[in-house]
Amino acid sequence: MSPTHHDNDTAPGVASVMESTDSADDLSHNPSGLWSGDTGTLGERTRRVLLELLKGPYVSGTQAPQLWAALVADESLVRSRLHDLFLDLVIDRVDEFAFTRKIVTDEIDAPAAVRSERLTFLDTAMLLVLRQLLLAAPGEKRVIVDREEVYERLAIYRTGDESTFQRNLNGAWSRMSNRLRVLHKAGEDRFEISPMVKFLIDEDRVRELIAVYERIAAGETGAGEIDADETDDGEDSIAETVVDNTDTDASDADIDIDADTEEDEA
């Protein structure tokens, strides 16, 4: 009997060996590859820090030292990748914070690359209070505040009944802690103000907003009577650098001074 030939058959185990060889070849062709077919050129930690920057709102050297080290080591590469997306990289080397923002240039009409966080009237007031408390303690390594201390400073803006106002305060506090991440728990009802808070509003914007809020506190106008021209400059942003790519309901408008502060609960 003549032997049977299997010209197209593969010996057992050969297929898996060939697949492994192909994967090895893929990775050998791209030394930076992390998986088969990966064409990326950045190291793993650099990719992770780039992803965190895009997710927002910021990367902290204190909270994520390994990511911070990767950012410092590959800053030019990260900056280049962000420029590909019309984003700029902002770094505070003293307090070790980094975040992205839309590039500012008159040379091209740059598209909006990320969504900005919309803030209510009470959110904005709380952000201003936190900023004032932080700047009132120059040289302090950590600025710790009591929740009630912040709430008391905002009492002048109360409208409606006390229970509703407290609920709105709790909602704003929750957004400061969980969405903007400018408050970190430091004890029983005690919180540390993140140095990041000073980057969220520039000095000119602060002066404009404080003027409006002082008028409200003096009873010259109500929260619901604020002129949009006084509080919203469009491209000049109160939350330009605070992004949330997962919030599909967010608007490209950078700030929303909204008289309806009942929309969120803690």
pLDDT tens digit sequence for 61-96 = 988 999 999 999 999 999 999 999 999 999 999 888
**Is residue 11 very low, low, confident or very high in pLDDT (cuts 50, 70, 90)?**
low
Question: Quick one: pLDDT at residue 244?
Answer: 31
Question: Quick one: pLDDT at residue 45?
Answer: 94
Burial of 179 (0-12, 13-18, 19+ CB in 10 A): middle
Question: Quick one: pLDDT at residue 26?
Answer: 52
pLDDT above 80 for 223: no
Average pLDDT, the chain: 75
Question: Quick one: pLDDT at residue 110?
Answer: 87
Question: Quick one: pLDDT at residue 241?
Answer: 31
Question: How far is it, in rounded angstroms, from Cα 148 to Cα 130?
Answer: 13
* Percent of the chain's residues with pLDDT above 70: 70
The tokens for 212 are 């409006």
Question: Quick one: pLDDT at residue 228?
Answer: 33
pLDDT above 70 for 160: yes
pLDDT above 80 for 44: yes
DSSP 236: B
Instruction: Scan for tokens 């140095």, then name that residue.
Output: 195
Lowest mean pLDDT among 45-49, 62-66, 79-83, 185-189: 185-189
pLDDT above 50 for 246: no
pTM above 0.85, yes or no: no
Question: How far is it, in rounded angstroms, from Cα 68 to Cα 172?
Answer: 29
Strand arrangement, sheet containing 190-193: 144-146, 190-193, 183-187
